[in-house]
Amino acid sequence: MDSEKKINDFDFDRAELIRRAVNQLGSAYAPYSNFHVAAAVLMESGNIYTGVNVENASFPAGICAERNAISHAVACGEQRIKAITIVGGKHGCRTHFCAPCGICRQVMREFSHPSEMKILLAVSEDDFRETTLEELLPDSFGPEDLIRD
């Protein structure tokens, strides 16, 4: 049982996922906050999709990197998230861990099992904090709540 859990815990390439997000960071469009964010989401299929934050002169029209990455995956027919990594910082400098906002956590919830979905807050391939959606969004509301009698 313990060994099974271990295999599940290490069954994806963290460095590759982080690399994909870091490589995307230059595309962030954040002329108003100057806070650049990129996300790479790994789906159960093994495919990775990326996204960046895209701001707007009409501020509320802006969207976060995580939701762009997830929307990208869903548009390609994928609906089960395995893990996501987020990188970012002021002017694109990766000096601190960038946590997902509340709205993004709720969107992650739509397409994952909270206890199984891994969230990697990363500065680099060698410097990241790994957590789960369950830890960042406890007692969450999800699709099952709407179909329960």
CB 120 within 8 A of CB 84: yes
The owner of tokens 């690399």 is: 19
How many residues are given for the chain? 149
Q: Is residue 35 within the footprint of ligand THU (CB under 6 A)?
A: yes
φ/ψ of 91, rounded to 5, equals: 55, 25
User: Which range of residues in 9-17, 59-67, 115-123, 135-143 is near ligand THU by CB under 6 A?
Assistant: 59-67
Q: Is residue 23 within the footprint of ligand THU (CB under 6 A)?
A: no
φ/ψ of 78, rounded to 5, equals: -110, 135
**Residue 103-142 contact track with ligand THU, rule CB under 6 A, x = bound:** -x--------------------------------------
Side-chain-side CA neighbours of residue 59 (13 Å): 2
Side-chain-side CA neighbours of residue 27 (13 Å): 14
Q: Which of 55, 66, 134, 135 is catalytic?
A: 66
As measured in angstroms, the least distance from the Cβ of 76 to ligand THU is 20
The owner of tokens 């990129």 is: 38
Q: Which one among 62, 89, 92, 142 touches ligand THU, defined by CB under 6 A?
A: 62
Question: For binding to ligand THU (CB under 6 A), which residues are involved?
Answer: 30, 33, 35, 37, 53, 55, 62, 64-66, 100-101, 104
> Annotated catalytic sites, by residue?
66
